[in-house]
Amino acid sequence: MSINDKVVIVTGASSGIGASIAVESAKLGAKVVMVGRNEEKLSKVSSDCASVGKKVKPLVINADVSKDEDVRRIIDTTVQQFGQIDVLINNAGFNKLVTIHDEKAMDAFDAVLATNLRGVVHLTHLAIPYLKKTKGNIVNVSSVAAVKPMGQTFWAYCTSKAALDHFSKCMARELAPDVRVNVVNPGPVATDFGANSGMPADLKLEIKDMVVLERISQSEEVTDIVLFLMSDRARGVTGSCFLTDNGLLLK
């Protein structure tokens, strides 16, 4: 499948990896549906898409993927506007830094799971009839944290991403042969993720020491893999988790 003219929903499109996926998809002629909550950032990325895009302006949906009514609105508005869904990119995600001993541990767990896992499950559930019609596909943005525990305040995040990987494989099996489902598992990427998850600014330096390639990725590196997975070049790929971690797992 070439992305030209395809309807591509990108959650978390206001920032970082999702913004890059939205812009690059627009560049390739996709009808992009951008989902996020931050109006200012959504508007900036939407302008970037419009300036590189070949055809239609992106459809911007201000929605919280952890809220059921917002998830329903994402699917309904997309279908009303474009009549179909070809690709669902579940990219929205965050972490809440708490230890398991913290009195707010369960609140943090529920919040992280609600966005990183439940939102993905709900969007998948509602998008399936449309994806089956178009023989489309799903790409979920997970993390290396799905396979490697990352420290005391990452337990909820790691757990959510491990579950996301397994859910993706279950869906790849269940939705075959009509719909492919794949995962990208990035290591450290230079985005607003740290700031949005309340991490200290100097953590970047420590992260660099954690990977054998001694570097942090740019969002576009993750986007390249997502673009491959959503295209026909990956027609034989389903249920796969693509690691792009600068060799973090090797350390």
Ligand X SMILES: NC(=O)c1ccc[n+]([C@@H]2O[C@H](COP(=O)([O-])OP(=O)(O)OC[C@H]3O[C@@H](n4cnc5c(N)ncnc54)[C@H](OP(=O)(O)O)[C@@H]3O)[C@@H](O)[C@H]2O)c1
Helix 39-52 to helix 16-27 angle (10° resolution) is 30
For the bound state, the minimum distance from the C-beta of residue 43 to ligand X, rounded and expressed in Å, comes to: 11
Regarding 223 and contact with ligand X (CB under 6 A), the answer is no
Cβ–Cβ under 8 Å, residues 65 and 115: yes
Regarding 58 and contact with ligand X (CB under 6 A), the answer is no
Regarding 168 and contact with ligand X (CB under 6 A), the answer is no
Q: Is 130 noted as a catalytic residue in this protein? A: no
For the bound state, the minimum distance from the C-beta of residue 160 to ligand X, rounded and expressed in Å, comes to: 8
Which residue among 48, 56, 73, 94 contacts ligand X (CB under 6 A)? 94
Regarding 36 and contact with ligand X (CB under 6 A), the answer is yes
Tokens of 183: 């995962």
Regarding 17 and contact with ligand X (CB under 6 A), the answer is yes
Region near ligand X per CB under 6 A, out of 22-30, 97-105, 126-134, 189-197: 189-197
Region near ligand X per CB under 6 A, out of 58-66, 120-128, 131-139, 168-176: 58-66
For the bound state, the minimum distance from the C-beta of residue 228 to ligand X, rounded and expressed in Å, comes to: 17
The active-site residue out of 157, 167, 193, 242 is 157
Region near ligand X per CB under 6 A, out of 6-14, 80-88, 168-176, 223-231: 6-14
For the bound state, the minimum distance from the C-beta of residue 15 to ligand X, rounded and expressed in Å, comes to: 3
Which residue among 115, 137, 153, 223 contacts ligand X (CB under 6 A)? 115
Question: Which residue's CB is nearer to ligand X, number 136 or number 186?
Answer: 186
**Residue written as token pair 């474009």:** 82
User: Where on the chain is the footprint of ligand X (CB under 6 A)?
Assistant: 11-12, 14-18, 35-38, 41, 64-66, 91-94, 115, 141, 143, 186, 188-189, 191-193, 196
- Give the residue numbers annotated as catalytic, written as ranges: 157
